[in-house]
Structure 1
Amino acid sequence: MLRRTVLTAAAVLAVVLGVQSGAQAAPAPGAPGVGDSYYPDYGNGGYDVGHYDIRLRYHPETDRLTGTTTILATATQDLSAFNLDFALRTTSVRVDNRPATFAREGDHELVVTPARPLTAGRPTTIVVTYDDVPSSVVAAGYTAWNRTPDGALAVGQPEIAWWWYPSNDHPTDKATFDVSVLVPSGVEAISNGSPTRWAQPELRGWDRWSWRSAAPQATYLAFLAIGDFETYGDETPDGEPIITAYSTRLDPVSAAAARGSIERTSEIIDWQAGLFGPYPFGARGGVVTGPRELGFALETQTRPVYDGVAFARGSNNSLVVHELAHQWFGDSVSVRDWRDIWLNEGFASYAEWLWSEKEGEGTAAEIADYVHGVAWPADDPFWQVLPGDPGAARLFHPAVYDRGALTLHALREAVGDEDFFAVLRAWAQTHRYRDASTAEFVALAEEISGDDLGDLFRTWLYTPGRPELEVAARTVPAEPRSWARITAAHEEAHRH
């Protein structure tokens, strides 16, 4: 329905004359970045995205990708222009149903000038159309889009969105997603969340796959896996979809090992929910690529993606535990600044130690003692990398993972199990679907424990050299009711 806006005579005169009540600055361009410590030009200033609607057609034989992405956003300031993070060849941009001009700056900045300035607080609709060969596009010095023998993988961290949809590309601006992909019949197109269309014929020889992520999601966590997969669908007792997919290029033995690990996803999530609080999303599963087609595993929201080579030696439950723990630590609660990446990786690594403890394969204390005293000798350069500020070039250095996990074990030894697990649950619940910082984690740990923990975190996160580590033979209780009690008390206090 078309709504007519009725203006008073004074309001009409103000619009005609360009007069507004109170002195206001003229609209200005939005910032080309959010000012991240490591990636200052990632993300953009001046607006907040609420939803991405991504519609694509992909031609595996040529790697040609055509698409239209509709972005629903709200300006946070009056804007004469704004930036999108995007590297593909753009054919048109419309803003609020009017053609907009656009120009490229650098390798991933698309500067958009709308026909009319955007007004702070007012919703806006941005429609971008594009057509390119993503594997031929270089940005930030490389190509994140992985072309495979039968399709492609759009999976990466911290950069991947640039190669398949325009975005405000920083974890501090989460949004919901609809992803719809037209591919040749017999080819799967798998993404995050729940399926809304599953191989639905649309053209002769072409099927559409559509996915919806209803919970807020960071841009780098949106993924696309196109190719020949064996795909399985199931659901939890509550009706939550469980979708797993395995590349047909896995050898039979590796494929069996992969299934032996990934098919335990729901079991592992339910165990983690007992430690960290309710699972934050409405779908779950995993995707395994062909061997060495990706080169890593990534915690893509609701459905982690694993390189098939990870299962070449057999099952790899620890890796599955790691990526699923990220659903709480990294996905639901995201970093406010990439400098704090240990909040993702240290927590997921420590979850592996807790799983080992639960499975009777070695307690977290035993693993901490081994990592601290054997795996990384005191004179190893490992101890010179600071997990709380590793530097952009060492974002995924082993110290971020292992010393980050040791930091958490040192905290556990300092405050005891009851407070430690209460901190983890409160962290996941208090910052659910948002972003947070190391300083906030330290403050929460001090609030729940009642201890001054500044020295502990400074030593483990920000001081070169190997700290001393006291380890005790702790085991995780099977029924963590007391953790839930403390967490509930913390949440109740924050509501008042």
Structure 2
Amino acid sequence: MQFAGISFKTTEFAPTFTIDSVSVDNFSCTFYYSNDTLILYPNSTIQPYSLFDVSISYHGNATSGGEYRGLTNTYSSDYNQYITWTLSESFHLKEWLPCKQDLTDRLDSAWIFITVDSTCKAGSEGKLTAIVPLSNGKVRYEWKERHPIVYYLLSIAVGKYAEYNFNVHIPGLSDSLFVMNYIYKDPQCLLDNKADIERTADFLRIYSDKFGMYPFADEKYGHCQVPLGGGMEHQTMTSLGYFIHWLVAHEMAHMWFGDHITCANWQDIWINEGFASYGEYVILQNYFDQQTADITMRHFQFRGRIEPEGSIYVPFEIAWDENRIFNGNLSYKKGAALIHMIRYLCDDDSIFFYGLKQLQNIYADSVLTGADVRNLFEAITGKDFHALFDQYYYGKGYPIYNIRWFQDSTQTGWGDLSIQIEQRGSSADNNLFTIPLPFELFKQQQVETIKLTPSQNIQTFTIQTNGLKIDSIHFDP
């Protein structure tokens, strides 16, 4: 079968690039490019359902929009360094590399060859397979990523870097994991950050235990230090501005949630950012202490309450607004608080973390939605998570509770306990929340925990006390 013309959106280009030629299966072909659509007119026969190769030659300069916008060159005043680096999430890979920006269509692999001055190093994804000397004082860094990768996780970082590398043993891994760090070439930089960088080893072990084995263990994990106010989870080699523990933990968690499995669309960015934020809590709980973890979770919950009309799920009409996609209060902090609620409803940490591992197994190198997460936890627990997701994920705002309790005394002792739960939503669009609420009952040096599930905006529950006096109650301990 001969196709007279094939029209498909194979490549997006910045306007600063020019296409020189296109070939299909090594045969030159006529092409037309307009409005991000490349239309090919191949001269060779292409059979239905068969694979064919398209090669595109182009030239031009990358646009430079600054932080969060493709390719940029930035100065770090802390250590007197200039770094050229990229950040392409969500829609900016095309500004420095022609590409197909589709979350559901991963590259099956990537070779990233970077030619730089011999005084520089160049970091990227996968394994560094060669450093090739060239003429005129240049070298070529040849990186090969053999795992499938989402388009926006491709990156480069170039600078006069120093290296601080080490190997990590992870239980269950037959060989050690190589950890590679490109840091600013200033001796003070390593002195300032060495202890924080070395925490990477323990964090990798914790996540591998809780989420499943590090998914890119046959390649590496690492960091490229760049003048960035935060970090970016480039696959196998995070770009970040500093090595504070919560940032290292957040970006590393993305290797599981964001890189290995990815949101199917930007409306479900919670898959990436909510779970990575919850990774911060997991590290605090398992590496530091529970008190610090609890303080952080309360902060996450507080941040979610800053947006009384907001939902974790990004509404369709603003799904291309990057300020909304990466809203720290909703996609990140409230998203992490929702995951904590899933853990609470599982009521068994072994089941909860089994669920996280199953997400990695089922959706490996693929995409998923919030509904997929809901369905998986329903399947492994036998519980209904629809109300939780309808009210806290898709729904706006949060509940506001007014709790009253009283207990009558009788001639023979104390009567039953009455607890009245009155609630309203911060948003009029989401006014009833039906998740079980925990209470601690303090009575005669005893503490009993109960859960009450409201189904109305004002509801009174009666609890038998067997004649014991209730000294106090604690809501949502």
C-alpha deviation, 1:418, in angstroms: 2.5
Residue 179 of structure 2 corresponds to: 242
SS at match of 1:345: helix
User: Would the alpha carbon gap of residues 295 and 318 (structure 1) be closer, same or farther in structure 2, given more than 3 Å must change?
Assistant: closer
2:200 pairs with 1:265: yes
| Amino acid in the other structure paired with 1:246 | I
CA gap 1:273/1:297 in 2 versus in 1, 3 angstroms: same
Larger Rg: 2
Task: Please tell me the residue identity of whatever aligns with 2:232.
Answer: L
C-alpha displacement at 1:205, in angstroms?
Answer: 1.0
Aligned to 1:384: 309
Checking the alignment, whether the CA contact within 8 Å between 1:84 and 1:112 is kept in structure 2 is no
Partner of 2:71: 145
Count of residue correspondences: 382
Structure 1 residues 226 and 91 mapped into 2: Cα distance closer, same or farther (>3 Å)? farther
Q: How does 1:460-475 map to 2 (within 5 A)?
A: 460-467=392-399, 470=437
Whether the aligned pair in 1 keeps the contact of 2:226 and 2:239 (CA below 8 Å) is: no
- Counterpart residue identity of residue 256, structure 2: W
Identify which of 336, 359, 375 aligns with 1:405. Answer: 336
Query: Which residues of 2 match residues 80-91 of structure 1 at below 5 A?
Result: 83-87=10-14, 88-91=17-20
Task: Return the offset for 1:444.
Answer: 0.3
Deviation at 1:239, TM superposition (A): 4.5
Equivalent position SS for 1:272: helix
What residue ranges of structure 2 are gaps of 5+ in the alignment? 76-81, 170-174, 401-434, 441-477
Name the CA shift for 1:27/1:235 in 2 (closer, same or farther; >3 Å).
farther
Give, in whole Å, the separation in 2 of the partners of 1:121 and 1:318.
47
1:94 is aligned to: 23
Change (3 A) 1:472 1:286: farther
- Name the Cα RMSD after superposition: 2.8
SS in 2 for 1:152: strand
Q: 1:148 to 1:89 in 2, by over 3 A?
A: farther
Measured in 2, the distance between the counterparts of 1:302 and 1:295 equals 20
Q: What TM-score comes out, normalization by structure 1 length? A: 0.70
CA–CA separation in structure 2 for the residues paired with 1:406 and 1:183: 44
1:482 corresponds to:
none
The answer (yes or no) to whether the contact 1:459–1:467 under 8 Å persists in 2 is no
User: CA, structure 1 residues 240+119, in 2 after alignment: closer, same or farther (shift >3 Å)?
Assistant: farther
Assess, with a 3 A threshold, how the Cα gap between structure 1 residues 128 and 215 changes in structure 2: closer, same or farther: same
SS in 1 for 2:208: helix
Q: Does 1:131 align with 2:59?
A: yes
Partner of 1:216: helix, strand, or coil? Answer: coil
* Residue 356 (str. 1) matches residue 287 (str. 2): no
**Cα displacement string for residues 385-413 of structure 1 (whole angstroms, at most 9, x for unaligned residues):** 21112533200002100111111111111
Match of 2:271 among 333, 343, 350: 343
Native 8 Å contact 1:135 1:147 kept in 2: no
Q: Distance in 1 between matches of 2:105 and 2:357?
A: 23
Q: Which residue of 2 aligns with 1:36?
A: none
1:388 counterpart letter in structure 2: Y
Maintained 8 Å contact 1:258/1:288:
no
Note the C-alpha offset of 1:27: 6.9
Instruction: Give the percent of matched residue pairs that are identical in Structure 1 and Structure 2.
Output: 26
- Residue 180 of structure 1 corresponds to which residue in structure 2? 113
In structure 2, C-alpha distance between the alignment counterparts of 1:265 and 1:300, rounded to whole Å: 16
Give yes or no for contact 2:116–2:140 (8 Å, CA) kept in 1. Answer: yes
Q: CA deviation at 1:229?
A: 1.0
Q: Distance in 2 between matches of 1:262 and 1:322?
A: 14
Alpha-carbon contact 2:7-2:40 (below 8 Å) kept:
no
Write the letter of the residue equivalent to 1:280: P
1:289 equivalent to 2:225? Answer yes
Q: Which has the higher strand share?
A: 2
Alignment match, 1:63: none
Q: 2:42 matched to 1:114?
A: yes
Shift of 1:203: 2.0
Taking a change above 3 Å as real, the CA distance of residues 98 and 428 of structure 1, as seen in their structure-2 partners, is: same
- Which of 303, 308, 323 is matched with 2:251 structurally? 323
- Which residues in structure 2 correspond to 1:292-307 (within 5 Å)? 294-307=228-241
Q: What is the CA–CA distance in structure 2 between the aligned matches of 1:191 and 1:420, rounded to whole Å?
A: 34
Change (3 A) 1:422 1:195: same
- RCO greater where, 1 or 2, for CA within 8 Å and sep 6 or more? 1
Using structure 2 for the length normalisation, give the TM-score: 0.73
The amino acid across from 1:463 in the alignment is G
Note the C-alpha offset of 1:450: 0.3
Letter in 1 for 2:233: E
410-419 vs 442-451, greater mean Cα deviation: 410-419
The 3 A distance-change label for structure 1 pair 240 and 353 is closer
